[in-house]
């Protein structure tokens, strides 16, 4: 049991995608490319072209009313389920939930997910996104910090154009974890008549000072890296040390001591190398740093800064008043915070539930138990599969 | 009430010393200077000279058996109570506890506290310490990273020499918060026959992987600062940006959303400046950064790195087995963890209590309630004053 747990932790930290216990042939998926022109951001800048990747599982029915949109988390991609190739080491992050006969049943639903704008994983060959690392058509060079600040609302608007291009104008459900929950809620507030169901996992409805500050801690190491150069590092040395520190922060913030410590069963506090030289990291930090560096190589530092900012500026419906925003929701709503979440704290979701409940909305809250902390939304979701399945069926 | 709370938060963040509501004349204290020669660290390096500052409150009795030693926290100094000058803005951090007629009654006890080795506040004129910023007598230049790694045990050994120089060989009690609790416990394990009472506040008995990683997050921004230069920044530009980021991390890790958010009652998530330019920090971060920078100017970045390492390597008695270490304690023990502590988590102190209890030690645990998180050990300690007073009297 402990070995299995530890293996899971290792898989997680290397890849941040969930493992699948599926013994049958994997669901194979194909990454697709969506392009749209003249996209004006909430911050008022018009991008002449936006490209994002997307993928889908299951079949769109004739009425085009069996659509479940999955919106991804901060470090995530469109790859919510299945494998690109049969021999991929890992399946998409919610493969335990999405597939034929699973809670989000691809025999019934057409499940679709897209990469967000400014997706972190710029160097992942399966990711297509538009952000500061993209070429600015006006200059022929990467945008860098000339790329406009983008918001969760912009992420939703790009998804809206993608769905419009497929002739889809009704969502059976929108489901997202963490930053994905921000997008899912934004869908339900912005397009209340088109969203029938909302599943909001390890999420938030708005930001508070605590969370804005916590997110800024993810930006600081990148800006401190001498290679960052105010974002002008393209075709030069990348700010990998700063990005690695950022990913160490993210990893720990997304976890909880319970499983974090369990993943270091041989931890020894009497670390003689660290005692002998201040330049030598404690062994536990050496292990974590090597893992974070491997992940950092797939990401773009500026994209991470833009994701931090998009998250910091999130508030449902871009309304100064949360109750006013939640008033607009017509979707039947299922809130799934994680009890041990130290990043997006469950008390904020309980408050969101109270507000929606008092507004007479059809809203249910059900907490995810587990020792992962925030990541329980990915790794301890299986006990909620039945509830999600029934929620979608009714 | 809310205004008072917010004022307290502001005072805290600027200075990290507690406010005193004392209307009477302040207890005036004088900083003193202790020098010792040929000090060999746990890491095996002999320093030809060590200097630390100290101060005391109350009078040493003839038998020299009324001594209460206070060991300070990570960002702290010897200044536990009183004021250096009558018009000082703030009294020492535990002035609510220490003074004539207070829980740690200076009419009864001779209370003494010293700056640790590698004290963070190198540029505070009231601090005397020895560390990487000190002049290496062998070269006439600052040690920088040639300074040996020092441990909590070394901090205790310097205090031991200070007490020896005063002819003190018995402690009525040793009391410390946070990193101060590490030193206090180390005293009780290392010199069991000389420590009669131990008060261990918002502390730990050993480190786990989670805490070692959390502490490393405080070191990372300093090392990333281009001015850090592998620690060789003396007489050059200081790594203030990195140190400021470090202090932002420390401030947030030491707090809890409850009071953190209450200290920003006018927080607005719709921050138009932050929306218009990625280079502009959200307002809340601008405020926090200015405060952290002011604090950073008083500190030395290398000293902070050494404090991180000393904390990461802490385990009671430098024993690989915690139970073996705790077995040595003869002091009557009072454990005061904070229920909402997110940094040194109360569950670890509950475990320490169980171990000591099973070993048949005279140990009491009493949790501090409050909305500050870790800082409840400083700011919500008053409800424990009576308990501490009785603990010391019996």
- Say yes or no: B7 contacts chain A, CB-CB below 8 A: no
Smallest Cα distance from B65 to chain A, Å: 34
pLDDT in tens, A180-195: 999 999 999 999 999 9
pLDDT band at B91 (very low <50, low <70, confident <90, very high): very high
Instruction: Give the number of other Cβ atoms within 10 Å of residue B386's Cβ.
Output: 10
Q: What is the ipTM of this complex?
A: 0.92
Q: Would the CA dihedral through A334, A339, A343, A346 be positive or negative?
A: positive
- Give the residue-averaged pLDDT of B95-109: 97
Q: What is the maximum alpha-carbon separation in chain A?
A: 69
- CA-CA distance, B268 to B344, in Å (whole number)? 31
- Give the residue-averaged pLDDT of A290-310: 98
Q: What is the SS3 assignment for B155?
A: helix
CB burial readout A158-181, b (16+ within 10 A) else e: bbbebbeeeebeebbbbbbbbbbb
CB pairs under 8 A between A and B: 169
Q: Which residues pair with A368 in a beta bridge?
A: A338
Are B216 and A270 in contact (CB < 8 Å)? no
- CA-CA distance, A317 to A319, in Å (whole number)? 5
Q: What average pLDDT is seen over chain B?
A: 94
- Give the residue-averaged pLDDT of A131-156: 98
* pLDDT value for A178: 98
* pLDDT value for A292: 97
Smallest Cα distance from B211 to chain A, Å: 8
DSSP 8-state assignment for residue B26? P
* pLDDT value for B236: 97
DSSP B215-232: HHHHHHHHHHSTTTGGG-
Are B288 and A206 in contact (CB < 8 Å)? no
- Say yes or no: B278 contacts chain A, CB-CB below 8 A: yes
- CA-CA distance, A213 to B310, in Å (whole number)? 27
- Give the residue-averaged pLDDT of A100-129: 98
Given a cut of 50, whether residue A10 has pLDDT beyond it is no
- Give the residue-averaged pLDDT of A160-174: 98
Given a cut of 70, whether residue A12 has pLDDT beyond it is no
Question: Which positions in chain B touch A231 (Cβ < 8 Å)?
Answer: 278
Residues of A identified as active-site? 178, 341, 374
* pLDDT value for A23: 52
* pLDDT value for B26: 84
Are A274 and B42 in contact (CB < 8 Å)? no
Given a cut of 80, whether residue B149 has pLDDT beyond it is yes
- Give the residue-averaged pLDDT of A92-114: 97
Question: Which positions in chain B touch A345 (Cβ < 8 Å)?
Answer: 257
A209-224 and A301-312 helices, crossing angle to 10°: 160
Given a cut of 90, whether residue A8 has pLDDT beyond it is no
- Length of chain B counted residue by residue: 394
Given a cut of 90, whether residue A248 has pLDDT beyond it is yes
Q: What is the SS3 assignment for B12?
A: helix
Residue among B208, B158, B171 nearest B314 (CA): B208
Domain count, chain A: 1
Given a cut of 90, whether residue A7 has pLDDT beyond it is no
Candidates B145, B216, B314; nearest CB to A285: B216
- CA-CA distance, A383 to A368, in Å (whole number)? 8
Given a cut of 70, whether residue A218 has pLDDT beyond it is yes
Q: What domain range is A236 assigned to?
A: 2-393
* pLDDT value for B24: 67
Residue among A265, A371, A375, A294 nearest A18 (CA): A375
| Pairing, β A141-142 against β A332-336 | unpaired
Given a cut of 90, whether residue B270 has pLDDT beyond it is yes
pLDDT band at B23 (very low <50, low <70, confident <90, very high): low
pLDDT in tens, A320-360: 999 999 999 999 999 999 999 999 999 999 999 999 999 99
- Give the residue-averaged pLDDT of A253-274: 94
What would the 3-class secondary structure string for chain A be? CHHHHHHHHHHHHHHCCCCCCCCCCCCECCCEEEEEEEEECCCCCEEEEEEEEEEEECCCCCCCCCEEEEECCCCCCCCCCCECCCCCCCCCCCCCCEECCCCEECCCCEEEEECCCCCCCCCCCCCCCCCCCCEECCCCEECHHHCCCCCHHHHHHHHHHHHHHCCCCCECEEEEECHHHHHHHHHHHHCCCCECEEEEECCCCECCHHHHHHHHHHHHHHHHCCCCHHHCCCCCCCCHHHHHHHHHHHHHHCCCHHHHHHCCCCCCCCCHHHHHCCCCCCHHHHHHHHHHHHHHCCCCHHHHHHHHHHHHCCEHHHCCCHHHHHHCCCCEEEEECECCCCCCCHHHHHHHHHHHHHCCCCEEECCECCCCHHHHHHHCCHHHHHHHHHHHHC
Question: Which positions in chain B touch A313 (Cβ < 8 Å)?
Answer: 269-271, 274-275, 282
B283-296 and B240-253 helices, crossing angle to 10°: 110
Report the chain B residue with the minimal C-alpha distance to residue A302: B278
Residue among B134, B147, B139 nearest B234 (CA): B134
* pLDDT value for B19: 41
Given a cut of 70, whether residue B232 has pLDDT beyond it is yes
Question: Which positions in chain B touch A151 (Cβ < 8 Å)?
Answer: 275
CB burial readout A362-371, b (16+ within 10 A) else e: ebebebbebb
Residue among B203, B128, B186 nearest B378 (CA): B203
Given a cut of 50, whether residue A113 has pLDDT beyond it is yes
With residue B247 as reference, give the H or E element that holds it: helix B240-253
Question: Which positions in chain A touch B249 (Cβ < 8 Å)?
Answer: 217
Are A270 and B43 in contact (CB < 8 Å)? no
* pLDDT value for A158: 98
Q: Identify whether the C-beta of residue A76 lies closer than 8 Å to the C-beta of residue A124.
A: no
Q: In CATH, what number is assigned to the domain containing residue A139? A: 3.40.50.1820
- Give the residue-averaged pLDDT of A372-383: 96
Question: Which positions in chain B touch A261 (Cβ < 8 Å)?
Answer: 208-210
pLDDT band at B25 (very low <50, low <70, confident <90, very high): confident
Q: What average pLDDT is seen over chain A?
A: 94
* pLDDT value for A20: 43
Check residue B235 and give left, alpha or beta (phi > 0: left; psi -120 to 50: alpha).
Answer: left
Given a cut of 80, whether residue B7 has pLDDT beyond it is no
* pLDDT value for A24: 67
Q: How many CA atoms lie within 13 A of A150 on its CB side?
A: 30
- CA-CA distance, B374 to B274, in Å (whole number)? 30
Residues of B identified as active-site? 178, 341, 374
pLDDT band at A25 (very low <50, low <70, confident <90, very high): confident
Report the chain B residue with the minimal C-alpha distance to residue A251: B213
Report the chain A residue with the minimal C-alpha distance to residue B346: A257
Would you tell me which residues 160-199 of chain B have a C-beta closer than 8 angstroms to some C-beta of chain A?
A: none
pLDDT in tens, A264-284: 998 999 999 999 999 999 999
Are B264 and A209 in contact (CB < 8 Å)? yes
- Give the residue-averaged pLDDT of A88-95: 96
Given a cut of 70, whether residue A392 has pLDDT beyond it is yes
Given a cut of 80, whether residue A310 has pLDDT beyond it is yes
């Amino acid at each position: 049991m402990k070995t299995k747990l530890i293996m899971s932790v290792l898989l997680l930290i290397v890849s941040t995608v969930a493992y699948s216990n599926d013994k049958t042939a994997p669901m194979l998926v194909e990454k697709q490319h969506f392009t749209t022109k003249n996209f004006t951001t909430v911050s008022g800048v018009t991008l002449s072209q936006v490209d994002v990747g997307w993928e889908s599982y299951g079949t769109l029915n004739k009425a085009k009313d069996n659509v479940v949109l999955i919106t991804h988390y901060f470090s995530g991609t469109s790859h919510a389920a299945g494998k690109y190739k049969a021999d991929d080491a890992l399946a998409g992050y919610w493969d335990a939930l999405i597939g034929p006969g699973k809670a989000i049943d691809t025999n019934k639903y057409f499940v679709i997910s897209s990469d967000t704008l400014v997706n972190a994983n710029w160097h992942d060959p399966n990711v297509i996104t538009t952000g500061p690392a993209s070429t600015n058509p006006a200059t022929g060079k990467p945008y860098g910090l000339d790329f406009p600040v983008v918001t969760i609302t912009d992420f939703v608007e790009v998804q809206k154009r993608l769905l419009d291009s497929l002739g889809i104008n009704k969502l059976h459900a929108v489901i997202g974890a963490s930053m994905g929950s921000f997008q899912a809620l934004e869908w339900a507030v912005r397009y209340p008549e088109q969203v029938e169901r909302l599943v909001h996992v390890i999420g938030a409805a708005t930001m508070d000072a605590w969370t804005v500050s916590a997110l800024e801690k993810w930006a600081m190491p990148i800006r401190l890296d001498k290679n960052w150069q105010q974002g002008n590092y393209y075709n030069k040395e990348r700010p990998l040390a700063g990005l690695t520190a950022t990913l160490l922060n993210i990893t720990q913030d997304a976890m909880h001591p319970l499983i974090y410590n369990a993943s270091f069963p041989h931890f020894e506090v009497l670390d003689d190398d660290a005692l002998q030289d201040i330049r030598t990291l404690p062994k536990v930090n050496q292990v974590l740093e090597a893992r974070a560096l491997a992940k950092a190589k797939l990401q773009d530092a500026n994209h991470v800064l833009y994701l931090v900012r998009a998250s910091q500026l999130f508030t449902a419906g871009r309304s100064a008043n949360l109750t006013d925003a939640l008033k607009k929701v017509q979707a039947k709503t299922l809130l799934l915070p994680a009890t041990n979440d130290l990043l997006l704290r469950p008390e904020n979701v309980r408050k969101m539930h109270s507000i929606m409940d008092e507004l007479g909305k059809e809203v249910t809250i059900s907490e995810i138990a587990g020792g992962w902390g925030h990541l329980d939304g990915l790794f301890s979701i299986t006990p909620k599969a039945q509830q999600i399945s029934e929620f979608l069926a009714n």
